Amino acid sequence: MVLFSLTYLLPGDPASVMLGPRATPQLVAELNERLQLDKPVYVRLAYYIFGVAKGDLGDSVWSGHSVLSLIGKNLPHTILLAITSLGLAAVIGILLGTFASIHRRKKIGSTVTTLSLLSVAVPDFVAALLLMLLFCIKIPILPSLGAGADGDIMDISLHLILPSLALAIGWIGYIARLTKESMEEVMDTDYIRTARAFAAPINTVYYRYALKNAVIPTITVIGLGFGKLLGGAVFMEIIFNRPGLGKMIVDAVFARDLPVVQGGILIATILFIFANLLADISYAFVDPRIQYD
């Protein structure tokens, strides 16, 4: 209901904006009738909710294709970008955070902590432009635009490197910092001191006993991070001219293609909720003390 209301708060008359210079009163009236904009708000809302309940998100005003087909075409690109970025951020961030915690009293540990803080301060679109300048212009070894040829895994992977890295840089630092603080807290607990007192191998203490408990707050952040990365993917899709859900929504906003805007944001919201649900469920696999009945 909120999503439906927000799309109609966009400035300007949707029909006039869509038609542009061709917006004669007759054409505006015909388009308003086609989009049911001539009906009261509560009637349009009822049609919208009934359509969503049936799995019908409507048709694009411009292309005439169903919104679900457009989402099905663009969504895989966005999910691939978000998952790749999140995977990079999680793996590198957890390893760096653990390393900084192990060497917290050494200069190398302080250096890693400082670099992680600096990476958090870099906006993802700035990182994207810097990476594009370095690896596409100064050292032209990576492609800058597009998502690669369909079916060509190597080409798709090459086109994925820069946007996924740019999107992951800030999250690498954030996850590293969170992991380091969690590790330091866990390392001061009684069971870790007991394990060390019994001369357990240091790698076992750090990576088997401490990290499994320290990583639980990180899993929460990763679940939230998936939703944040879906939002950040909009910038990457525009900067690198990649197809995706975010670019589709932005183009639809400018074109006032309201069914596409509503459908795209609705699917993104569902993905965000689903990612957080998976993060909650995954706690039980990391910490056996957590059980779900």
Q: What is the pLDDT of residues 109-153, one digit of tens each?
A: 778 878 888 888 888 888 888 888 888 888 888 887 877 777 778
Residue 106: burial class (beta carbons within 10 Å; 0-12, 13-18, 19+): exposed
pLDDT confidence tier of residue 284, bands split at 50, 70 and 90: low
Asked if residues 88 and 168 have their Cβ atoms less than 8 Å apart, the reply is yes
List all residues 6 or more positions away from 179 whose beta carbon is below 8 Å from its beta carbon: 93, 94, 96, 97, 98, 101, 214, 215, 218
Helices and strands in the chain, H and E counts: 14, 0
Can you give the pLDDT at residue 186? Answer: 79
Can you give the pLDDT at residue 10? Answer: 67
Higher-scoring residue by pLDDT: 207, 96: 96
Instruction: Find the mean pLDDT for residues 59-66.
Output: 78
Q: Is the pLDDT of residue 292 over 60?
A: no
Instruction: Find the mean pLDDT for residues 48-71.
Output: 82
φ, ψ for residue 59, nearest 5 deg: -120, 150
Can you give the pLDDT at residue 174? Answer: 85
Instruction: Find the mean pLDDT for residues 34-51.
Output: 78
Question: Could you identify the residue written with the tokens 């999680």?
Answer: 90
Can you give the pLDDT at residue 287? Answer: 63
Q: Is the pLDDT of residue 68 over 70?
A: yes
Q: Show the tokens assigned to 186.
A: 């866990």
Can you give the pLDDT at residue 209? Answer: 73
Can you give the pLDDT at residue 286? Answer: 63
pTM: 0.77
CA dihedral of residues 15, 18, 19, 20 (deg, nearest 10) = 120
